[in-house]
Amino acid sequence: MKAFPGIRSAERRPGLLRKMGAFLHRDLLEAASYKLSFIFSVVGILMSSATFYFISRLIAPGTASLAAYGGDYFSFALIGIAFSGPLGVFQEGLPQVVRSAQVSGTLEALLVTRTPMPIILFGSSLYPLVFALLRTAVQIALAVAVFGMRLGHVNTPAFLVVLILTAVCFVSLGMLSASFLLVYKLGNPVSWFFGSVSGLLGGMLFPVAVLPPWLRGVSFFLPITHALEGLRLSLLSSTTFARVLPSIAALAVFAAVLLPLGFWTFRLAIRKAKRDGTLTHY
Amino acid sequence: MNGTPGAPAVSVRGLVKKYPLVRGYRELLAHPFRRRFVTALTGVDLEVGAGRCYCLLGPNGAGKTTLIKILASLVLPDGGEARVAGFDVEREPGKVKESIGLAVGDERSFYWRLTGRQNLMFFAALSDIPSARSRRRVDEILALAGLEEVADLRFNAYSTGKRQMLAFARALLTDPGILFVDEPTRSLDPGAARKIRAFIKKDLVEGHGRAVLWATHNLAEAAEVADDLAIIDKGSIRISGRTSDLTRGGRIPLQEIYDGAVEPEEADGPVPDERRRS
């Protein structure tokens, strides 16, 4: 009996890559329909780079706490600023996607497709992530070309390992964040905590070495501290892989704890929201 | 193969759903651990056969949308059993989604700055339609819904009727055997509503043998399209059966049956339930 026809299973399964491509294409089409936005974002990159360039001229080169990163404050600060974008998207991409789909009314239509919810959410945060990484690359390239930023001999393997582990840690925090959003809608302690303390204690604009010892202790337990340390060492200080290893090890421990925790809470949150009937509420 | 041979399109037995009530600050402080629930469905039974148009008729807040959301695996039930195409909605949501299409009267469920075609191509990819086939399928479905001429216009330029037709087009992308429609003619003018009703009844049910579960509060609409009918009020089915049997072949007006089944003075919404969820 052919009671319930449909496109046959054997013909389906176009694969994860095509689905990710579909999300990227959708978001690119939407972004392209807002023509002024991209121009302003490029101007914004130039303005923020120029600001830190001029601040850096006030700070004498050779400051001891900057020696490990090539001794140049502009390069130090620019790495912090440039990577804050992708780190923010890693962490806030998922909750923002959930919120945006709830508010726009598309979440229900997405959830009734044959694509599992985690793939929908990761696919939807792909474009902001790719855009943020491109923005970082452009910002660094502009800083090198226009403001004379000095990159060391980039340790590419170390840089990639640090970047991947950083992504895993921050996406896991994003899953925790999205879990709160699914259940409580607004009021997100994960975003609040990491958003408010990371700028101060994570070494975004100054080395954590200048913090009082007790605050340095706190910063040690923030993934951003080790992420920025590893990124700066691998990009600025012409260093060996072994020298970046402490940052990599710390990030690996964070990832090993946060990733399963993120998946577990996210799964619980989806089930609770489905049970309460509030999955698409905001 | 999709579906279980011999299984009804939809089978619901003793379905129960309760939603937790949102509590105010005072209640949270006074009773932090006490939760109150509102009963949305209480012991619902129904069966939709293949190739039948089944109307779920009831006032606002009767539980129609909750039932459809449970069947579409968007909401989990608290008791009873619901099967779609033979698959359990709670334990096999993936297989349920492979068997159904869902069209709701909500214009916000599309990307407004994308064209109708771009919207459908995106949902085709998410619905596992092979890339080699998706363009052809989208063209076919746009033709079926009569949207070829506006296919490359942005969704925000569509009329309400065309937006609703695009919702049907999306629901039919995977050629599902079972279609859930929730208030599809809400906010449509009489002409557009008639077109939608004809499309579902003539093309999908009679032409293609699809099973349709149609939630509505419009009596005339139900009388026009329903092969089978259930009147739901305050979360329970008050009366159900073949439309022709219930109306004795059209001799009893549906309005009379409806008035006898629904309590009009309390028809505006569900009633809070003090009990804890079992």
DSSP string computed for A175-212: HHHHHHHHHHSS--HHHHHHHHHHHHHS-SSS-GGGS-
Q: Which residues pair with B103 in a beta bridge?
A: B181
- The highest-confidence range among A66-70, A99-103, B2-6, by mean pLDDT, is A99-103
Coil, helix or strand at residue B95: helix
Does the pLDDT at position B274 exceed 50?
A: no
| More confident of the two residues A60 and A82 | A82
Are B111 and A19 in contact (CB < 8 Å)? Answer: no
Does the pLDDT at position A269 exceed 60?
A: yes
Which of B72, B97, B111 is closest, CB to CB, to A106?
Answer: B111
Give how many domains chain B has, as a whole number: 1
Does the pLDDT at position B198 exceed 60?
A: yes
| More confident of the two residues A118 and B119 | B119
Burial of B184 (0-12, 13-18, 19+ CB in 10 A): buried
Query: Which letter, b or e, does each residue of A154-181 get, where b requires 16 or more Cβ atoms within 10 Å of its Cβ?
Result: ebeebbebbbebbbbbbbbbbbbbbbbb
The answer to whether residue B3 sits within a structural domain is no
Residues belonging to chain A with any Cβ–Cβ distance to chain B shorter than 8 Å: 1-9, 11-14, 18-19, 21-22, 25-26, 29-30, 33, 104-106, 108-116, 120, 271, 274-277, 279-280
Q: State residue A61's pLDDT score.
A: 63
Q: What is the pLDDT of residues B116-171, one digit of tens each?
A: 999 999 999 999 888 888 999 999 999 988 899 999 999 999 998 899 889 989 99
Q: State residue A282's pLDDT score.
A: 72
Which of A18, A114, A275 is closest, CB to CB, to B76?
Answer: A275
The answer to whether residue A125 sits within a structural domain is yes
The answer to whether residue A282 sits within a structural domain is no
For A273-278, what is the mean pLDDT?
88
The answer to whether residue A4 sits within a structural domain is no
For A84-88, what is the mean pLDDT?
84
Q: State residue B12's pLDDT score.
A: 96
The answer to whether residue A5 sits within a structural domain is no
Which chain A residues are within 8 Å of B97, Cβ to Cβ? Answer: 112-114
Coil, helix or strand at residue A111: helix
Q: State residue A261's pLDDT score.
A: 94
Query: Which letter, b or e, does each residue of B63-79 get, where b requires 16 or more Cβ atoms within 10 Å of its Cβ?
Result: bbbbbbbbbbbbbbbbe
Instruction: Kindly report the number of other CB atoms within 10 A of residue B167's CB atom.
Output: 24
Residues 40-99 (B) with a CB less than 8 A from some CB of A: 40, 50, 66, 69, 72-76, 78, 85, 94, 97-99
> Can you tell me the distance from the alpha carbon of B197 to that of B225, in angstroms, rounded to the nearest whole number?
7
Q: Which residue has the tokens 């309390």?
A: B266
CA dihedral A96, A29, B94, B232 (to 10 degrees): 80
Give the tokens for residue B121: 């191509």
CB–CB of B181/B101 below 8 Å?
A: no
Does the pLDDT at position A4 exceed 80?
A: no
Are B131 and A14 in contact (CB < 8 Å)? Answer: yes
- The highest-confidence range among A31-40, A197-206, B101-110, B175-184, by mean pLDDT, is B175-184
The CATH number of residue B102's host domain is 3.40.50.300
Q: What is the mean pLDDT of chain B?
A: 87
> Can you tell me the distance from the alpha carbon of B212 to that of A268, in angstroms, rounded to the nearest whole number?
32
Sign of CA dihedral B83, B86, B88, B92: negative
Are B7 and A3 in contact (CB < 8 Å)? Answer: yes
Q: State residue A11's pLDDT score.
A: 53
Q: What is the pLDDT of residues B25-66, one digit of tens each?
A: 787 788 777 878 889 999 999 999 999 999 999 998 899 999
Does the pLDDT at position A177 exceed 60?
A: yes
The residues, any chain, with a CB within 8 Å of residue A189's CB and separated by 6 or more, are A180
**Range in A49-53, A61-65, A140-144 with the lowest mean pLDDT:** A61-65
B113-B115-B119 Cα angle (round to 5): 95
Q: What is the DSSP string of A41-67?
A: HHHHHHHHHHHHHHHHHHSPTT-GGGG
The residues, any chain, with a CB within 8 Å of residue A203's CB and separated by 6 or more, are A80, A219, A224, A225, A228, A229
> In angstroms, how far is the first alpha carbon of chain A from the final one?
43
Question: For B154, which DSSP code?
Answer: B
Are A114 and B106 in contact (CB < 8 Å)? Answer: no
Percent of chain B with pLDDT over 90: 53
Q: Which residue has the tokens 């303390």?
A: A197
The answer to whether residue A107 sits within a structural domain is yes
Percent of chain A with pLDDT over 70: 89
Q: Which residues pair with B84 in a beta bridge?
A: B10, B87
Are A22 and B125 in contact (CB < 8 Å)? Answer: yes
Question: For B271, which DSSP code?
Answer: P
Quickly state the pLDDT bin for A195 (edges 50, 70, 90).
confident
Q: Which of A78, A54, A51, A73 is nearest to A63 (CA)?
A: A73
Q: Which residues pair with B242 in a beta bridge?
A: B228
Residue-number span of the structural domain to which A167 is assigned: 16-276
Q: Which of B81, B55, B72, B56 is nearest to B109 (CA)?
A: B72
Q: State residue A78's pLDDT score.
A: 83
Are B131 and A277 in contact (CB < 8 Å)? Answer: no
Are A106 and B19 in contact (CB < 8 Å)? Answer: no
> Can you tell me the distance from the alpha carbon of A260 to that of A266, in angstroms, rounded to the nearest whole number?
10
Q: State residue A6's pLDDT score.
A: 52
Q: State residue A60's pLDDT score.
A: 62
Q: State residue A1's pLDDT score.
A: 32
Sign of CA dihedral B158, B162, B166, B169: negative
Are B75 and A279 in contact (CB < 8 Å)? Answer: yes
Q: Which residue has the tokens 């006898």?
A: B260
The answer to whether residue B1 sits within a structural domain is no
CA dihedral A163, A168, A169, A170 (to 10 degrees): 80
Number of A/B CB contacts below 8 angstroms equals 133
CB–CB of A102/A79 below 8 Å?
A: no
Stretch (H or E) spanning A231: helix A223-236
Task: Give Cα A224 distance to the centre of its chain.
Answer: 10
Does the pLDDT at position B278 exceed 50?
A: no
Residue-number span of the structural domain to which B105 is assigned: 10-273
Question: For B19, which DSSP code?
Answer: E
> Can you tell me the distance from the alpha carbon of A61 to that of A71, in angstroms, rounded to the nearest whole number?
6
Residue of B nearest to A107 (CA): B109
Instruction: Kindly report the number of other CB atoms within 10 A of residue A66's CB atom.
Output: 23
**pTM for this model (two decimals):** 0.81
Task: Tell me chain B's radius of gyration from C-alpha atoms.
Answer: 20
Task: Give Cα B24 distance to the centre of its chain.
Answer: 32
Q: State residue B61's pLDDT score.
A: 87
Compute φ and ψ for B214, nearest 5 degrees: -120, 115
| More confident of the two residues A36 and A27 | A27
For A134-158, what is the mean pLDDT?
81
Q: State residue A212's pLDDT score.
A: 86
Q: Measure in Å the smallest separation between the Cα of B76 and chain A Cα atoms.
A: 5
Quickly state the pLDDT bin for A54 (edges 50, 70, 90).
confident
Compute φ and ψ for B109, nearest 5 degrees: -85, 15
- The highest-confidence range among B90-94, B191-195, B200-204, by mean pLDDT, is B90-94
Q: State residue A228's pLDDT score.
A: 92
> Can you tell me the distance from the alpha carbon of B163 to that of B108, in angstroms, rounded to the nearest whole number?
9
- The highest-confidence range among A13-27, A221-235, B26-40, by mean pLDDT, is A221-235
Coil, helix or strand at residue B181: strand
Q: Measure in Å the smallest separation between the Cα of B263 and chain A Cα atoms.
A: 26
Compute φ and ψ for B87, nearest 5 degrees: -100, 140
Question: For B150, which DSSP code?
Answer: G
The answer to whether residue A174 sits within a structural domain is yes
Q: What is the mean pLDDT of chain A?
A: 82
Q: What is the pLDDT of residues B212-258, one digit of tens each?
A: 999 998 888 999 999 999 999 999 999 999 999 998 888 888 888 88
CB–CB of B90/B76 below 8 Å?
A: yes
Which chain A residues are within 8 Å of B76, Cβ to Cβ? Answer: 271, 274-275
For A68-83, what is the mean pLDDT?
80
The answer to whether residue A196 sits within a structural domain is yes
Amino acid at B15: L
Does the pLDDT at position B2 exceed 50?
A: no
CB–CB of A181/A280 below 8 Å?
A: no
Task: Give Cα A40 distance to the centre of its chain.
Answer: 21
Give how many domains chain A has, as a whole number: 1
